[in-house]
């Protein structure tokens, strides 16, 4: 029996910076090649934001589009949950800057730190906020400038990331069958040091030492992260389907986090989804962390591959480790 959704997606919007950085650009500064990057990751290009375009500004552009699609104004929003691994400032939350930019004066605004599945964590939180009566319309956002925390001298990470934002208006369901049929989120903090930024936080505050050691940049044990990504995204697919009470055969489109084409293919294989039913845009945007899922949904809508009434399986994995999934009747 299909669960009645408590919330539904009322609007979606994305924003990407104008500047395209191709793999060829990295060949000029790093010991790498377009061939290696394409073969090992599937990435061909990514977007990079200029210093004057903040995370909050990218989030604002995406949020305005999401509000327009929902037919709502900023004052209709009761809460903003912004997932990011790259807040504009360490205090206050980037969500508060976004609130000010939007003029969403009736909202509570806060950031959520859950790395790449942040958008799915934010969706889960928004569903809970509706359930507890905190309001009816929530803005969930995944917004990142990952190129500000990737070490440009480290070939194993510099080539992976892109900047982008995605936003959705999550609205209390009107009682119909459209909406969020299930969510699943999980973490394993024992594996934190496989993907992390060691310096610059409270443990080792920013200092000449931190800068000299470059420990304020992302460090990643790529191969170990890869293996965990495949395992956890597979588990997450199973969990979301089970909680929604449906089988993979009933899913019209898989929307996986876009970190690496090989991880996407392994996840699709596990879920038994043919690649024509999988959204893939890692080639164009790289890994945009929490923005990755809304970016892929937006592309699916624009290409006519995602249509109202379709059943979508969303799944993501990231630093923490964290992983999550959702089944959504679009
Ligand atoms: O968003 C969620 C979190 N992130 C992820 O899910 C990423 C998961 N990991 C991955 O996608 C892959 O592990 C990477 C793309 C990061 C790396 O691919 P890999 O096939 O696992 O390569 P590797 O780390 O095992 O490295 C293989 C070789 C090494 O050289 P040696 O030791 O064999 O001589 C690396 O130094 O490839 C080398 N290498 C590169 N060579 C050319 C690493 N980066 C590069 C590069 N260009 N950019």
Q: Which atom of ligand 1 sits closest to the CA of residue 318?
A: 2
Q: Residue 11 domain-assigned? A: yes
User: What three-state secondary structure class fits 295?
Assistant: helix
pLDDT of residue 4: 79
pLDDT of 301 > 50? The answer is yes
CA 124 to chain centre: 13
Question: Is the domain of 228 the same as that of 97?
Answer: no
pTM of model > 0.85: yes
Q: Is residue 236 part of a domain?
A: yes
Provide DSSP, 114-162. Answer: -STTHHHHHHHHHHHHHHTTS-SEEEEEEEEEGGGTS-TT-HHHHTTB-
Q: Same structural domain for residues 12 and 108?
A: yes
At 79, the pLDDT band (50, 70, 90 cuts) reads very high
pLDDT tens track for 115-140: 999 999 999 999 999 999 999 999 99
Q: Does residue 136 form part of some domain?
A: yes
Contact present, 282 and 307 (Cβ < 8 Å): no
Q: Give the separation between CA 195 and CA 143, rounded to whole angstroms.
A: 19
Angle at 287 between CA 219 and CA 277, to 5 degrees: 140
Burial of 193 (0-12, 13-18, 19+ CB in 10 A): exposed
Instruction: Answer yes or no: do 140 and 210 share one domain.
Output: no
pLDDT at 3: 65
Question: Is residue 155 domain-shared with residue 202, that is, in the same domain?
Answer: no
Does 157 reside within a domain?
Answer: yes
Q: Work out the burial of residue 113: count CB atoms within 10 Å of its CB; fewer than 13 is exposed, 13-18 middle, 19 or more buried.
A: middle
What's 291's domain CATH number?
3.40.47.10
Kindly give the distance from the C-alpha atom of residue 222 to the centroid of ligand 1, in angstroms, as a whole number. Answer: 5
Q: 99 and 58 in one domain?
A: yes
* pLDDT above 90 coverage of the chain, percent: 98
- CA of 220 relative to ligand 1 center, distance in Å: 9
Q: Is 257 a catalytic residue?
A: yes
Q: Which of 116, 137, 147, 260 is catalytic?
A: 116
202, pLDDT greater than 50: yes
Helix 261-271 and helix 34-41, axial crossing angle in degrees, nearest 10: 20
Looking at the structure, tell me whether residues 199 and 95 fall in a common domain. no
Catalytic residue among 23, 147, 216, 257: 257
Residue 165 and residue 17 share a domain: yes
Together in a domain, 267 and 160: no
Structural domain includes residue 267: yes
Boundary residue ending a domain (155, 176, 197) = 176
User: Which residue has tokens 């956890």?
Assistant: 232
Residue 72 maps to a domain: yes
Mutate to test the pocket of ligand 1, among 223, 229, 231, 319 (most ligand atoms within 8 A of CB): 223
The number of the ligand 1 atom at minimal distance from the alpha carbon of 158 is 48
Closest ligand 1 atom, residue 222 Cα? 13
Split at pLDDT 50, 70, 90, the class of 252 is: very high
Confidence band for 1, pLDDT divided at 50, 70 and 90: very low
Supply the range of the domain harboring residue 147. Answer: 7-176
Given 124, 147, 176, the domain boundary residue is 176
Dump pLDDT digits (tens) for 147-189: 999 999 999 999 999 999 999 999 999 988 899 999 999 999 9
Q: Specify if 103 maps to a domain.
A: yes
Q: Whose CA is nearest to atom 3 of ligand 1?
A: 318
- Say whether pLDDT at 323 is over 80: yes
Q: Are 185 and 319 within one domain?
A: yes
CA 273–ligand 1 middle distance (angstroms): 26
Asked if 78 is an active-site residue, the reply is: no
Domain end point (choices 176, 197, 227): 176
Residue 320 lies in a domain: yes
Q: Is there a single domain that holds both residue 191 and residue 167?
A: no
Number of domain units in the chain: 2
Respond yes or no: is residue 106 known to be catalytic.
no
**185 and 304 share a domain?**
yes
pLDDT in tens, 29-62: 999 999 999 999 999 999 999 999 999 999 999 9
Lining ligand 1 with CB less than 6 A are: 32, 36-37, 40-41, 116, 155-156, 159, 195, 222-223, 225-226, 229, 259-260, 263, 287, 317-318
Q: Which residue has the tokens 């596990």?
A: 270
To test the ligand 1 pocket, which listed residue (154, 160, 222) has its Cβ within 8 A of the most ligand atoms?
222
Per-residue pLDDT at 104: 98
Are 142 and 235 contained in the same domain? no
């Amino acid at each position: 029996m299909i669960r009645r959704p408590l919330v539904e997606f009322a609007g979606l919007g994305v924003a990407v910076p104008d500047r395209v950085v191709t793999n060829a650009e990295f060949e000029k500064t790093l010991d790498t090649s377009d061939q290696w990057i394409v073969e090992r990751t599937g990435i061909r290009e990514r977007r990079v934001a200029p210093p004057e375009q903040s995370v909050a500004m990218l989030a604002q552009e995406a949020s305005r589009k999401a509000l327009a699609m929902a037919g709502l104004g900023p004052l209709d929003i009761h809460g903003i949950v912004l997932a990011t691994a790259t807040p504009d400032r360490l205090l206050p939350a980037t969500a508060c800057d976004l609130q000010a930019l939007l003029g969403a004066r009736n909202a509570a605004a806060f950031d959520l730190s859950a790395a790449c599945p942040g958008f799915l964590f934010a969706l889960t939180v928004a569903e809970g906020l509706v359930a507890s009566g905190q309001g009816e319309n929530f803005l969930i956002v995944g917004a990142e400038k990952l190129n500000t925390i990737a070490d440009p001298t480290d070939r194993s990470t510099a080539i992976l990331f892109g900047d982008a934002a995605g936003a959705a208006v999550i609205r209390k369901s009107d009682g119909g069958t459209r909406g969020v049929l299930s969510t699943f989120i999980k973490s394993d903090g024992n594996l934190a040091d496989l993907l992390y930024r060691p310096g610059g936080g409270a443990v080792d505050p920013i200092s000449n030492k931190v800068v000299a050691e470059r420990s304020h940049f992302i460090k990643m044990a790529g191969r170990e992260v890869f293996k965990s990504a495949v395992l956890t995204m597979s588990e997450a697919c199973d969990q979301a389907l089970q909680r929604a009470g449906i089988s993979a055969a009933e899913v019209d489109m898989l929307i996986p986090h876009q970190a690496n084409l090989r991880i996407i293919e392994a996840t699709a294989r596990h879920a038994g989804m043919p690649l024509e039913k999988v959204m893939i845009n890692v080639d164009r945007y790289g890994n945009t962390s929490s923005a990755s899922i809304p970016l892929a949904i937006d592309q699916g809508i624009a290409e006519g591959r995602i249509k109202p009434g379709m059943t979508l399986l969303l799944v993501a994995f990231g630093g923490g480790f964290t992983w999550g999934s959702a089944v959504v009747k679009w």
